[in-house]
Amino acid sequence: MMIMTMENKKIAISAENITKIYKLYDKPSDRMKEALIPGRKRRHKEHYALRGINMNIYQGETVGIIGTNGSGKSTILKIITGVLNPTGGSITVDGRISALLELGAGFNMEYNGIENIYLNGTMMGFSEKEIDARMQDILEFADIGDYVYQPCKTYSSGMFVRLAFAVAINIDPEILIVDEALSVGDVFFQAKCYHKFDEFKKRGKTILFVSHDLGSIAKYCDRVILLNKGVKLGEGGPKEMIDTYKQVLVGQYELPSEEEGVNEKALEYGTKEAEIVGFYMTDEKGVRTTAILKGGSFTLHMRVRFHNSLPAPIFAFTIKDKQGTELTGTNSMVEKAFLGSVRAGEEKQITFTQRVDLQGGEYLVSLGVTGYEGDVFQVYHRLYDVLNLTVVSDKNTVGVYDMNSVVRVETIETIEEQLSHG
């Protein structure tokens, strides 16, 4: 059914009072006990992923959704596309949706690329003949060569997102929904995708996407919706909402609780002669957060308790990308910050403060306490991927980090004039 506004503009997506609640249990048996004995003791806590979200997306608009981790961005997209059901409220969609939500969604990893193209096309309601007619465009856009005949489980993340995005945009959707997936592709593929965004806009298509790349949000979006801890904090023009978002990041609005951004199931091991008993991040103003503006600085805090006396513990952290590649890190020995011994029963607070020049995106932080006892290297305690670091950027360059180049473009006449004056 076509929905019209008072201004007689067609609404492509309408969300009314959307709420999503997850039940959190301390242990799996509590879920079973609650199910088997209804009406007795409640054994779960309720987590509101979304609280009463209202929004309208108009036909032909490009709308961005921004917010810190845990704000509900991906959840609202999954509800719009039917992957999740809301706990309360209603969604109305007018138009055929193509969605690229997360790497692997809608693909069978045992199938090859061609088979997955037919699988996805069929799921979207296309006949084999209609998919055949679009096949060449899909293959040319993906540009992964003969890998398209190999099982998708053998693909790199870059090849995978190329194929997934090629399918999503070439089945001629009326509404395109993208959730941060473009951050996986290389800069040239991203440029090709954003060129396709421009083409879609000119054809009157509707685009809804989530991104931490504020530069792309500012450039391509007609309107931006800002979420924070499941609540719509505001909506409006890109500049206005990006400015508000930056205020959220520096503590001018309610920030996520310190538990958000922490991986409670992080891999840990070690002798536990020294134990990491506390950790968190703060921005350059001392506000606890896991979202940092690119170009700013953050401090990683780590509290360590020593159960045994140790000759020379080493405190360390590393930062990885989402694919698990170690990008950077350091330790107290390299930095010559602490080379002493400790006694059993002591506790120490360690802080690492650094400038953030990583590109905008999501990263994983690992912590460790190690040391040498004679010539033997000992791991006392390691916590892998225990914190999520979000770098928020309005300018992403090529590669992993920004070289902060200073670029000047001058006329030859200006240079010659400068030379003539000595």
pLDDT at 411: 85
How many Cβ atoms from other residues are within 10 Å of residue 209's Cβ? 24
| Residue 35 or 196, more confident | 196
Locate the DSSP E strands across 321-360.
326-331, 347-355
Residue 367 has pLDDT above 90, yes or no: yes
pLDDT in tens, 136-169: 999 998 889 999 999 988 988 788 888 888 888 8
pLDDT digits (tens, 9 = 90+) for 233-246: 889 999 888 888 88
CATH superfamily, region 267-392:
abc- transporter (atp binding component) like domain (2.70.50.60)
In the chain, where the domains are located: 3-249, 267-392
Tokens representing residue 102 in the block:
């997360």
Are 391 and 360 in contact by the 8 Å Cβ rule? The answer is yes
Q: Is the pLDDT of residue 186 over 90?
A: no
Mean pLDDT of 377-387: 93
pLDDT at 372: 93
| Predicted TM-score (pTM) above 0.85 | no
Token reading at 182: 């473009």
Sort strands 62-66 and 231-236 into parallel, antiparallel or unpaired: unpaired
pLDDT at 250: 65
Q: In this structure, which amino acid lies at residue 6?
A: M
On the question of pLDDT at 6 being above 60, the answer is no
Mean pLDDT of the chain: 86
Which pLDDT value is given to residue 256?
44
Amino acid at 394: D
**DSSP, res 394:** S
Question: Domain 3-249: which CATH class?
Answer: alpha beta
